[in-house]
Amino acid sequence: MPTQPKPSGTLKAVRGTRDLLPPETALWNRVESTARSVFARYGFGEIRTPIFEDTSLFARGVGEETDIVSKEMYTWDDRDRFDERRLRVRWLEMYTRDEYIGSRSNVKAGSAEIDLVAERRGVVEGQEVLITELVEFKPEVRQFDVDRLTSAVNHFKETSGKEHVLGKLVVPEKRNTASSVKELQHGIFIEQLTGEFFLQSQRITLRPENTAGVVRAYIEHNLGDTGQLQKLFYIGPQFRRERPQRGRYRQFWQIGVEVLGPVSSGSESPLRDAEVLEMLATLLDELGIQGWKLELNSVGSAEDRKRYVEVLRQALAPIKHQFCLDNQRRAQTNPLRVLDSKDPDDQALIDGLPKIADYLDESSRNHFAQVCAALDASGVVYTINPRLVRGLDYYTRTTFEFTVPSSGDPASGLGTQNALLGGGRYDGLSEMLGGPRAPGIGFAIGEDRLILTLQAQFNAVSAKYVSYLMHAYIAPIGAHNNAAALALARELRNGANGLRVEVGDGSFRLKKSFEMASKIASNIVIVGDDELSSNNFTVKTFLTGNQTKIDKSELAAFILSQSSVPNDPEWAQDFFKSDREST
């Protein structure tokens, strides 16, 4: 018997990706549940779009000259799609002649379902007979299809009693090299038809961001026809082929929000911008993020932006050779991205460039002033940063970024990259994608970076947070008590308190059970013969070291009272708040 070849090396996650494992995923779940809770209070509903889209969506929406589209997208050509219906129609058009009496579609023949069974007149050994053809329409000739059709022909002969039965594989001519009609093996023929029977391949991209996909869904499902403001959020992975570094991965997770709709719904109002920013401040506070700062700017209308980009390009022309290579390229292809550069050697040059605020029209200035006034009224502190721009083509007017302490401050967890999230207004994106006018505003939080910040700012707290101990570990004494241990665990899990319970195995020595329980649970419950006969269970609480006999009727309440982790699923939020208040 041949042996399987040994793998050449250990399989690992692809560079730039990672596995998220317990107990860290408890922190992720807590962050996401907090986001869902906050979003619900502001009237947002969840949207889930495909993780891949037609490449043209991002080329048109994000911008062909952006780094994302030009360098960072995962893109491929989908295979040509075989158009079976067109091939079938073409064959029927050719062979609807006097010799064909009739045909039936999708006929069962043994385990196979045959595309078409046709009957025609023919001559065999000088005699006119009725010939039955089992016809299959395929993109190419494969041995599997030949064998399947052969089996179907044999079965059809046996069950129908008909003598003259043959199989025919109909395929497009350009995918095969045989002559137009050829007998492949006894009773099985291949027939080729000339024509175009493949739909054009589609260029597909793993989504590098989700705003364009949400707007595409808004257009496709005619959400604007409701006349209502659409308040949508999403949580999911995005993909960019960039150099992996701390907090930046090739598959990364985002929590995002989009607010859009027809102008009559209030989608263009400065109040929408301020409400989104106030909601973000609430979310970061409830998560326990310390030291966050909101930076704000306006990039004006599409006309303002176009005018400013030309001024900026002219200002960059005589000095662009002094910039780093990336900014030299951006100075020509996407000048706004130069302003967003973090290269320390370029900062003095950037500070001397024209400010976009000087090129806003009156409408854009008024819009921005109203956003700031609403934030002032809500008590949300912000700083106006005239250099803050968004490099994606769809952004207009309000742009913003939330940052946390950076550089040498270890509290951020992000090193020198201190941006936690960003967003802005995109009033013309729907029209860029071929839809109706639908002004909008949104943001995306890099969840990987958010988790790093939480872990750095609350190192001791988050360690306990992600541990999320089980309430009890059930330790059966002897394998014959395994069933009883499982039954008890079921009662505790499904009871009013809904305890988190792990079950050991009766084959373990008691010492091993205690060692395992101490690592994952607050309490260990012994299930032995004495406990089962008396309905009094021995419970040891690891935090205090106390060991107690408890009646089964009081067991759940006692375990809950002795647990070092409260049963309230909101416990982590309260724990963060109390820790924050004490610092």
Percent of the chain having pLDDT more than 70?
86
In this structure, is residue 434 part of a structural domain? yes
Amino acid (1-letter code) at residue 374 = A
Range of the domain at 521: 469-561
Least confident of 167-171, 223-227, 312-316: 312-316
Could you tell me if 432 and 544 lie in one domain?
A: no
**pLDDT of 407 over the 70 cut:** no
Could you tell me if 274 and 403 lie in one domain?
A: yes
In this structure, is residue 447 part of a structural domain? yes
Tell me which residue has tokens 């929408």: 272
Phi-psi region of 222 (alpha: psi -120 to 50; beta: other; left: phi over 0): left
* Residue 460: predicted pLDDT: 39
**pLDDT of 571 over the 60 cut:** no
Domain holding 494: CATH number? 3.40.50.800
- Would you say 239 and 283 are in contact if contact means Cβ atoms under 8 Å apart? no
If one counts the domains in the chain, the total is 3
Least confident of 20-24, 207-211, 498-502, 570-574: 570-574
Phi-psi region of 467 (alpha: psi -120 to 50; beta: other; left: phi over 0): alpha
Q: Which of 218, 232, 261, 203 is nearest to 75 (CA)?
A: 203
For 353-365, write each residue's pLDDT tens digit: 888 888 899 999 9
- Please state, in angstroms and rounded to a whole number, the distance separating the CA atoms of residues 406 and 457: 12
* Backbone CA torsion sign across 129, 132, 138, 143: negative
* Residue 539: predicted pLDDT: 95
Domain end among 183, 199, 215: 199
Tell me 485's DSSP state.
H
- Would you say 380 and 323 are in contact if contact means Cβ atoms under 8 Å apart? no
pLDDT band at 501 (very low <50, low <70, confident <90, very high): very high
In this structure, is residue 556 part of a structural domain? yes
Percent of the chain having pLDDT more than 90?
43
pLDDT band at 3 (very low <50, low <70, confident <90, very high): low
In this structure, is residue 426 part of a structural domain? yes
Q: Which of 193, 165, 167, 166 is nearest to 178 (CA)?
A: 193
Tell me which residue has tokens 């999911």: 236
For 186-219, write each residue's pLDDT tens digit: 788 988 888 888 887 788 999 999 999 999 999 9
Highest mean pLDDT: which range of 6-10, 146-150, 239-243, 468-472: 146-150
Least confident of 112-126, 274-288, 328-342, 480-494: 328-342
Distances from the Cα of 406 to the Cα of 282, 285, 583, angstroms: 21, 18, 20
* Residue 408: predicted pLDDT: 52
Token pair belonging to 293: 């700062």
Domain end among 199, 234, 267: 199
Three-state DSSP class for residue 294: strand
Amino acid (1-letter code) at residue 241 = R
Could you tell me if 89 and 194 lie in one domain?
A: yes
Q: Which of 84, 112, 95, 89 is nearest to 171 (CA)?
A: 84
- Please state, in angstroms and rounded to a whole number, the distance separating the CA atoms of residues 206 and 549: 58
Amino acid (1-letter code) at residue 341 = S
Could you tell me if 65 and 211 lie in one domain?
A: yes
Tell me 337's DSSP state.
H
Q: Which of 116, 156, 153, 155 is nearest to 135 (CA)?
A: 116
Q: Where are the beta strands (DSSP E) in 83-126?
A: 100-109, 112-124
Segment 401-420 mean pLDDT = 67
Segment 401-418 mean pLDDT = 65
pLDDT band at 339 (very low <50, low <70, confident <90, very high): confident
Could you tell me if 490 and 453 lie in one domain?
A: no
Could you tell me if 92 and 174 lie in one domain?
A: yes
In this structure, is residue 3 part of a structural domain? no
Could you tell me if 191 and 231 lie in one domain?
A: no
Could you tell me if 417 and 278 lie in one domain?
A: yes
* Residue 440: predicted pLDDT: 95
* Residue 49: predicted pLDDT: 96
Could you tell me if 281 and 409 lie in one domain?
A: yes
* Residue 268: predicted pLDDT: 93
For 134-155, write each residue's pLDDT tens digit: 999 998 888 888 889 999 999 9
Identify which has the larger pLDDT, 580 or 99: 99
- Would you say 261 and 224 are in contact if contact means Cβ atoms under 8 Å apart? yes
Could you tell me if 289 and 428 lie in one domain?
A: yes
Domain end among 181, 199, 217: 199
**pLDDT of 567 over the 60 cut:** no
In this structure, is residue 574 part of a structural domain? no
- Stretch (H or E) spanning 457: helix 447-457
Could you tell me if 284 and 420 lie in one domain?
A: yes
pLDDT band at 179 (very low <50, low <70, confident <90, very high): very low
* Residue 329: predicted pLDDT: 82
Q: What is the mean pLDDT of the chain?
A: 84
- Please state, in angstroms and rounded to a whole number, the distance separating the CA atoms of residues 264 and 326: 42
Highest mean pLDDT: which range of 64-78, 388-402, 502-516: 502-516
Segment 243-265 mean pLDDT = 89
26 C-beta neighbours (distance < 10 Å), count:
15
pTM of the model: 0.72
Least confident of 129-133, 290-294, 509-513: 129-133
Please confirm whether the linkage preceding 569 is cis (ω < 30° from 0).
no
Segment 550-556 mean pLDDT = 94
Q: Which of 374, 354, 367 is nearest to 310 (CA)?
A: 354
* Residue 517: predicted pLDDT: 92
Tell me which residue has tokens 């002969």: 157
pLDDT band at 70 (very low <50, low <70, confident <90, very high): low
Domain holding 85: CATH number? 3.40.1350
Domain holding 63: CATH number? 3.30.930.10
- Would you say 45 and 231 are in contact if contact means Cβ atoms under 8 Å apart? yes
pLDDT band at 581 (very low <50, low <70, confident <90, very high): very low
* Backbone CA torsion sign across 466, 16, 233, 392: positive
Token pair belonging to 274: 């301020």
In this structure, is residue 503 part of a structural domain? yes
Three-state DSSP class for residue 112: strand
Q: Which of 436, 438, 435 is nearest to 426 (CA)?
A: 438
Q: Please, which residues have CB within 8 angstroms of residue 237's CB and are 6 or more apart in sequence?
A: 51, 251, 252, 253, 254
**pLDDT of 228 over the 90 cut:** yes
Could you tell me if 191 and 270 lie in one domain?
A: no
Identify which has the larger pLDDT, 375 or 184: 375
In this structure, is residue 573 part of a structural domain? no
- Please state, in angstroms and rounded to a whole number, the distance separating the CA atoms of residues 569 and 558: 19
CA 341 to chain centre: 28
- Please state, in angstroms and rounded to a whole number, the distance separating the CA atoms of residues 187 and 168: 8
